[in-house]
Structure 1
Amino acid sequence: MTVKEIMKNKKYELVPPDGGWGYVIWIAVIINGIATASFVGSFGIIFNELFIQLEMGSTSITLFNGINAMCVSLSGFMTGPLLKFMSTRQLGMVAALLFNLGAFGTVFVNSTVLFFLCQGLLQSIGVGFLFNLSYSVINDYFVKRRLLSISVTQTIPAIISLFSPQLVNMTISYYGFRGSFVLLSAINMHTFVAVCLMQPVARHMKKIEIPNIENSEMKLLLVQDKADANIPCVKLSDKEKEIDKNIDKNGEKDLEIDVVTEKSRSIRSIILEAIDFSLMKTFIKSNACLGLAICGFADLTFTLMLPQTLYAMNWKEDEVAWAVSLNSLGDLVTRILFIIGSSWLVRFESQQIYLVGLFLAVTTRLGMLGVENVTTILTFLTIMGASKCTVLLLIPQVIAEAVKPEQFTSAMGIFMLVFGFSNLSLGPLIGAVRDLTDSYPTAIYIITSCFGIVFIFWIVEMVYKKNKHKRKPKTQTSKKALT
């Protein structure tokens, strides 16, 4: 066999680059993360004067948080269906436009209705789209280095969020709160640059050779069979011709069916085509969706409730500040450790690492409530930062391992929708329990039970999947062996 024939028989496969332009994707996702997430912790500082000016009380702010969560969730859910009619960059441009319209429009807000429109509707819809698109692109470009990519793109915005309160205070003191809105709007406009950097992964796929062992063995057998005239010989070329004929016939039939169905398309058929209902039925019940959503909700609720809990324990303001800072420090250090140890952590399933985070989440919260010593509680809160990092950082990784690559965007959208509904339904319930009992520890015990329930169910699911093959009847395994 000549060299040319050998080259012709070689087969190649296109795989994600796991680098190359993927590092530029890191920059794009980091920009989006800084614009959408780094200043969330400074929300109260940024809008404090505007709330006073608009006379917005606790009821209005609570309503705003609910609208904000639902808009982010719904737009994240609709990302998958919309990508079937638009490209990633087209939808990204729409998202960046809505996000920046909301941010810049806040500069001129002079009523509660306009504030809800700009911040609660426009900007929140943009955030939902950008969040889903960012991690969908990371999932497309990276497989082996996916954990490293998620760690890097989440760690840098987290570092900036540590300094954002000081930056916001500085800009407000120099330029006033509306001047700070203008500067924040200028930062947010970089999302247009980020979207432009999100090139389709098809342009940067790597071509790797596939060992064609089976075809070589079949050709060798056929050559040997030709030496024996009594044994009928099947030529591969003849078989390929028959397959081609069948494909042509089936192709003509499929074309006729497509023409008929195209004429009878309706709104219902378009919706069924856009939304993967089969994925929704299976994925929404899994721990990779419902479990992640409940844990994300529990962590967010605890973070918002932590300062009030410590004040109720008669802590001073400087002690509360230390507690929040140490919790954030534990989160940040764990993110850095994920970056350093990502090449070692890929040996484990993301669900296994996530379970370690859930175990820490349960034990540290129970430990915090079981002691009264300030230093011990601060230690628990620092370790709790590691669980917070694991619970939040591994969300895209767990979802990516639970579904097919082409289903990731839809699965991420479903998760965001469930997360939004969890916040709307369970959040007020925990708040009501706290008000009725007048006890923050009771509310934290309920939050801790959310982590514990998911932890138990996830272990049961993993044990069931691991032992599933052992429960197969012997007849099935013997049949497979014979075939």
Structure 2
Amino acid sequence: MDFSNAKGRAKPLPTAKPLPTDASFKFTETQIAGIGHVNSFGLIYRDFMIHTQSTTKSLTTANGVFAIMLAIGGIILNIITKKLTLRQCGLIGSCIFSTGSFLTILISNTNHLPFTFGVLQGIGFGILVPVCYSTLNLLFTTKRTTVMSIIKSLQGIILMWYPQVIKQTLSVYGFRGTLLIIFGISLHTFPGMLLMKTENKDTGKRLRTAKNIEIETDKQIKLELLNNDEQKQQILSDNGTEYKTSKKNRCQYLYYQRKFMRITNLTFHFLEVLNLRCLKDPVYCNICVGQSFMNFSDLTFFILQPMLLFQYGYDKAQVATCITIGTGADVAGRLALAMISGATHINTRLLYYVATLLTLVVRLVLLQIHEFIWVAAITAVLGILRAWIHIASPLVISNHVTHEDFAGAYALFMLAAGVVNLTCSPFIGMIKDSYEDYVPAFYALSASCLPCLIMWPIELVSRRK
């Protein structure tokens, strides 16, 4: 199965001086300080949910809101980068994210999470992520799969110990103390953004700006008025009637033309920000749909997995161990992919598809077993597959669109993923609350892999005809 698309592949950029150590460290620092604790949500909030009698729906809703705000953060970044540098935009994202992390300490039940975690941390992290990806996309024009694998491996090595640290901090400092420590970690996004190396590209070849359009439209209006007046005078003079243009009518005409022009400019600006012209590409749309549902399934699955393990009767130590094993396998998968991609070319879209297919099969196996040793082994396999999916996801998009369109295309994908998360996440919580069992909810999450598995082969067949 070959998903390659040479037509849409990004063109090589002029050689830039890569700074792999610097870029890798700052990218890793930002990602860990951002949402490194998400996989431990079950450990952090389980006792708090029981104490406050909160429902699972509020937790999944917070996850859905986070996803849509992640996309909105990317759109905001696309707007403010016209006035500010990437570094300045990243600092704004750090401020918003840290504010949300601090307010999470003050929550009285999980119903507040959709705002503190979903809205504030979602927008903040939505600004931070494209800054990191855009920087890497600029620095590395080749071997992006290898670079991304190495960076994600560094990130995973540190995140591997997160569940164990969370377990210890909960036992020593309690729930609020743990959230305070997480807030302190989130402050590391500031040095991550301050030291991020960016490059301002020449924007001389950009599309026309709204201001330029306004000037051009104004000229066209005046020209149309002149032509209309000349035509009217010619017609009336032929009939022997003297014609004089009414100043009042001309002003009214100009007023309505300017009003229409402003609406047109706003529409053009909106389309430019979202890069909606990508939606004309059916292949890109298919990529977005498949990855959006898989993104929702993956994120919600690993957030709720600790809850499933608690339902199996595991204690906190066993749950933390399973999460650690999964994260360790994630690191191993990233390192393995880095070595493989360094030796041979990898079709990232085919990699994403195969990893998604295997993920569906392995998840179904996980729901049939309860023994700790087997659950730990299956979790390790899921960790490896998750690593491949996470690395391939942005690369599938960057390999299909040009470098100039990547930021807008990725923001549009994040928006699509956010809509899917916001729409589907509450239903997962409702399924669990209705059956009072996590297993049906996990079957629903596994079914979310199907859009990618079904629609991508259909696209391949239709393209070959």
Q: TM-score range by the shorter chain?
A: 0.7 to 0.9
Residue 338 of structure 1 aligns with which residue?
Answer: 337
Residue 218 of structure 1 aligns with which residue?
Answer: none
Residue 405 of structure 2 aligns with which residue?
Answer: 407
The residue correspondences of 1:124-135 to structure 2 (distance < 5 A) are 124-135=122-133
Q: Distance in 1 between matches of 2:416 and 2:137?
A: 21
Aligned partner letter, 1:57 = S
Cα distance per residue 1:108-128 (max 9 Å; x no partner): 667989876544433321111
Structure 2 residue corresponding to 1:82, chosen from 80, 83, 97 = 80
The residue correspondences of 1:187-206 to structure 2 (distance < 5 A) are 187-201=185-199
The answer on 1:94 being equivalent to 2:92 is yes
Q: 1:358 deviation in Å? A: 1.7
Segment drifting more, 35-44 vs 291-300:
35-44
Q: Distance in 2 between matches of 1:189 and 1:319?
A: 30
Q: 1:386 deviation in Å? A: 1.8
TM-score scaled to structure 1, two decimals?
Answer: 0.71
Contact 1:284 1:414 in 2 (8 A): no
Aligned partner letter, 1:184 = I
Q: Distance in 2 between matches of 1:89 and 1:261?
A: 39
The residue correspondences of 1:300-379 to structure 2 (distance < 5 A) are 300-310=299-309, 323-345=322-344, 347-369=345-367, 375-376=373-374, 378-379=376-377
Contact 1:68 1:124 in 2 (8 A): yes
Cα distance per residue 1:57-87 (max 9 Å; x no partner): 2265454444333322321243334333432
Q: Distance in 1 between matches of 2:100 and 2:421?
A: 23
Distance of aligned partners of 1:99 and 1:362 in 2 relative to their CA distance in 1, 3 Å threshold: closer
Contact 2:68 2:417 in 1 (8 A): no
Segment drifting more, 255-264 vs 433-442:
255-264
Q: 1:137 deviation in Å? A: 1.5
Segment drifting more, 373-382 vs 291-300:
373-382
Distance of aligned partners of 1:277 and 1:261 in 2 relative to their CA distance in 1, 3 Å threshold: farther
Segment drifting more, 42-51 vs 94-103:
42-51
Q: Distance in 2 between matches of 1:435 and 1:110?
A: 21
Aligned partner letter, 2:341 = S
Distance of aligned partners of 1:24 and 1:168 in 2 relative to their CA distance in 1, 3 Å threshold: same
Q: 1:163 deviation in Å? A: 1.6
Q: 1:319 deviation in Å? A: 5.9
What is the alpha-carbon root mean square deviation over aligned residues?
3.8
Q: Distance in 2 between matches of 1:114 and 1:446?
A: 26
Residue 120 of structure 2 aligns with which residue?
Answer: 122
Cα distance per residue 1:332-390 (max 9 Å; x no partner): 21112122223124x12101111221231122233345667765554433222222222
Contact 2:73 2:127 in 1 (8 A): yes
Segment drifting more, 176-185 vs 259-268:
259-268
Q: Larger radius of gyration, structure 1 or 2? A: 1
Structure 2 residue corresponding to 1:388, chosen from 386, 389, 398 = 386
Distance of aligned partners of 1:117 and 1:299 in 2 relative to their CA distance in 1, 3 Å threshold: closer
Contact 1:82 1:274 in 2 (8 A): no
Residue 27 of structure 1 aligns with which residue?
Answer: 25
The answer on 1:291 being equivalent to 2:290 is yes
Segment drifting more, 347-356 vs 177-186:
177-186
TM-score scaled to structure 2, two decimals?
Answer: 0.73
Distance of aligned partners of 1:133 and 1:110 in 2 relative to their CA distance in 1, 3 Å threshold: same
* DSSP-derived class of the 1:201 partner: coil
Contact 1:350 1:397 in 2 (8 A): yes
Residue 471 of structure 1 aligns with which residue?
Answer: none
* DSSP-derived class of the 2:161 partner: helix
Q: 1:308 deviation in Å? A: 4.4
Distance of aligned partners of 1:424 and 1:101 in 2 relative to their CA distance in 1, 3 Å threshold: closer
Contact 1:81 1:410 in 2 (8 A): no
Q: 1:195 deviation in Å? A: 1.6
Q: Distance in 2 between matches of 1:314 and 1:113?
A: 26
The residue correspondences of 1:155-304 to structure 2 (distance < 5 A) are 155-171=153-169, 178-201=176-199, 257=216, 260=219, 265=262, 266-282=265-281, 286-304=285-303
Distance of aligned partners of 1:440 and 1:398 in 2 relative to their CA distance in 1, 3 Å threshold: same
* DSSP-derived class of the 2:281 partner: helix
Aligned partner letter, 1:338 = L
Q: Distance in 2 between matches of 1:179 and 1:313?
A: 28
Contact 1:28 1:194 in 2 (8 A): yes
* DSSP-derived class of the 1:286 partner: helix
Residue 455 of structure 1 aligns with which residue?
Answer: 453
Q: Distance in 1 between matches of 2:124 and 2:343?
A: 36
Which of 1 and 2 has higher RCO (CA within 8 Å, sep 6+)?
A: 2
Contact 1:294 1:450 in 2 (8 A): yes
Aligned residue pairs: how many? 404
Distance of aligned partners of 1:86 and 1:280 in 2 relative to their CA distance in 1, 3 Å threshold: farther
Segment drifting more, 429-438 vs 118-127:
429-438
Q: Distance in 2 between matches of 1:446 and 1:108?
A: 33
* DSSP-derived class of the 1:341 partner: helix
Q: 1:271 deviation in Å? A: 2.5
Contact 1:33 1:154 in 2 (8 A): no
Distance of aligned partners of 1:44 and 1:194 in 2 relative to their CA distance in 1, 3 Å threshold: same
Cα distance per residue 1:120-166 (max 9 Å; x no partner): 43332111111122112211211212112222222223222222233
Cα distance per residue 1:301-336 (max 9 Å; x no partner): 332343444555666776655544433332221112
Q: Distance in 2 between matches of 1:351 and 1:395?
A: 8
Structure 2 residue corresponding to 1:41, chosen from 39, 42, 59 = 39
Distance of aligned partners of 1:361 and 1:172 in 2 relative to their CA distance in 1, 3 Å threshold: closer
Distance of aligned partners of 1:260 and 1:150 in 2 relative to their CA distance in 1, 3 Å threshold: farther
Contact 2:54 2:109 in 1 (8 A): no
Identity %: 26
The answer on 1:422 being equivalent to 2:420 is yes
Residue 57 of structure 1 aligns with which residue?
Answer: 54
